[in-house]
Amino acid sequence: MTDDTTGDTGTGGETDSPAQESVVVPGGRDVRGTLDRAARGANHAVDDDTDHRTSDETADACVVACPPHPQHRGHRGDDRLVAVSETVRAAGIDCLRFDYGDWDEGYGERADVRAAVDWARERYDCVGLFGFSFGATLSLLVAGEDRDVAVVVALAPTARIASDLDAVAAVPSVTAPLRVVYGSRDDVADCEPVVAAVADARRAGADAETRELAADHFFVGQTDQVAAAAGEPLVSVLAE
């Protein structure tokens, strides 16, 4: 799989704000994340004297956001993940952005996504999946196995990570609403087979759509467009 995160201006390391919480995802690997809590005044009232919501003001839904390739500087502070997080938070939805554990050729990273989804499911009524590039491919793989994922949005996915980590093969098994967003000038990820598989799934009656943006793989200068194209489908399902 060819992947790079050139164009990412995220910082990687983050300092928690009152609207964020550091998370260690349970499991056999060192998976750490940042939980972005829903914005003040979105769907819940918040005490003016604090940025922390009270126990009866917690969000009902969470998006698990999967970063791009960790060997190419992919991390939870990726600009595209942050932009989508801001969009869903404004609608009263929490977002867990996380970093993968030690590199494991995609297999351990898939397990990390599963563990993050399990962590969210224990705390929220509905869980959605979002990923960019390598993370988008993992999102499709996990959504194809997990019928309890409420919605999945894949931004610039590649067709496969390995012969048995095949996003194209996973698409027909995705039962949740599925949206694939990709750039018309993407010369990094092999998106076309995934786009074709989604079109086939739609013709077969699945709730599956694609959206093309006039962009390269990194959506340089198009943060707002990414936030809308990837964030709004998550909101439309999870904020119901």
- Rounded Cα distance between 180 and 48, Å, is 39
- Rounded Cα distance between 180 and 156, Å, is 7
- Residue 51 placed within a domain: no
- Least confident range from 44-53, 90-99, 198-207: namely 44-53
Q: How confident is the model at residue 240 (pLDDT cuts 50, 70, 90)?
A: confident
What mean pLDDT value characterizes the chain? 90
Per DSSP bridges, beta strands 31-36 and 94-99 are: antiparallel
pLDDT digits (tens, 9 = 90+) for 199-233: 999 999 999 999 999 999 999 999 999 999 999 99
- Residue 1 placed within a domain: no
- Rounded Cα distance between 204 and 186, Å, is 27
The structure tokens listed for 57 are 């003001």
**Number of domains the chain is built from:** 1
Of 1, 116, 119, 166, the closest CA to residue 68 belongs to 1
Q: What is the mean pLDDT of residues 98-121?
A: 98
CB within 8 Å of 13: residues ≥ 6 apart: 77
- Residue 6 placed within a domain: no
Strand order across the beta sheet in which 208-213 lies = 20-25, 31-36, 94-99, 61-66, 126-132, 151-155, 178-183, 208-213
- Rounded Cα distance between 97 and 160, Å, is 22
Q: Which residue has the tokens 């194809």?
A: 144
- Rounded Cα distance between 223 and 240, Å, is 25
Q: What is the mean pLDDT of residues 165-170?
A: 98
- Residue 172 placed within a domain: yes
- Residue 215 placed within a domain: yes
The structure tokens listed for 165 are 């980590």
User: Per-residue pLDDT for 22 more than 60?
Assistant: yes
- Residue 7 placed within a domain: no
- Rounded Cα distance between 44 and 230, Å, is 23
Question: For residue 77, what are the domain limits?
Answer: 20-46+57-238
**pTM of the model as a whole:** 0.89
CATH code at 118?
3.40.50.1820
- Residue 81 placed within a domain: yes
DSSP class per residue in 49-73:
T-SSPPGGG--SEEEEEE-S-GGGT
- Rounded Cα distance between 232 and 235, Å, is 5
- Residue 3 placed within a domain: no
Contact 33, 101 (CB under 8 A): no
CA distances for 86 relative to 106, 160, 167, 197, angstroms? 27, 29, 27, 29
Q: What is the pLDDT of residue 58?
A: 85
